[in-house]
């Protein structure tokens, strides 16, 4: 996280999706919106190659029952990064 960024309030997450196409970014956003209430998506060009950045805010304090909407692979998944930041993160 950059030092100039402020932390969202408790239970709120700022989500940034970077994808090769707007459709791929929208698909990921739709999955998140099935799990959490979210703001309207805001998309921006991600580079000269036609990529897309999609930003949205999700409220993690109001979630549906996990078994009702989350696919089993999502509930059981673990991060492969193991707490390490992505190369482009500070």
The CA distance from 75 to 68, in Å, is: 11
pLDDT by residue (tens digit) across 43-88? 888 877 788 999 999 998 886 665 555 556 555 655 555 556 656 6
Block residue for tokens 């979630």:
63
Residues 6+ apart with CB under 8 A from 33: 58
The CA distance from 59 to 25, in Å, is: 19
pLDDT given for residue 79 in this prediction: 55
pLDDT given for residue 57 in this prediction: 93
| pTM reported for the whole predicted model | 0.62
Which range, 2-16, 18-32, 57-71, is most confident? 18-32
Asked if 42 and 54 count as a contact pair (C-beta separation under 8 A), the reply is: yes
Block residue for tokens 């707490």:
83
């Amino acid at each position: 996280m950059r030092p100039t960024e402020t932390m969202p309030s408790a239970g709120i997450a700022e989500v940034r999706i970077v994808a090769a196409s707007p459709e791929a970014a929208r698909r990921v956003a739709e999955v998140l919106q099935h799990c959490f209430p979210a703001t309207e998506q805001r998309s921006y060009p991600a580079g000269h190659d036609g990529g897309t950045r999609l930003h949205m805010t999700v409220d993690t304090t109001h979630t549906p029952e996990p078994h009702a909407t989350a696919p089993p692979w999502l509930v059981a998944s673990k991060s492969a990064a193991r707490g390490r930041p992505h190369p482009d993160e500070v």
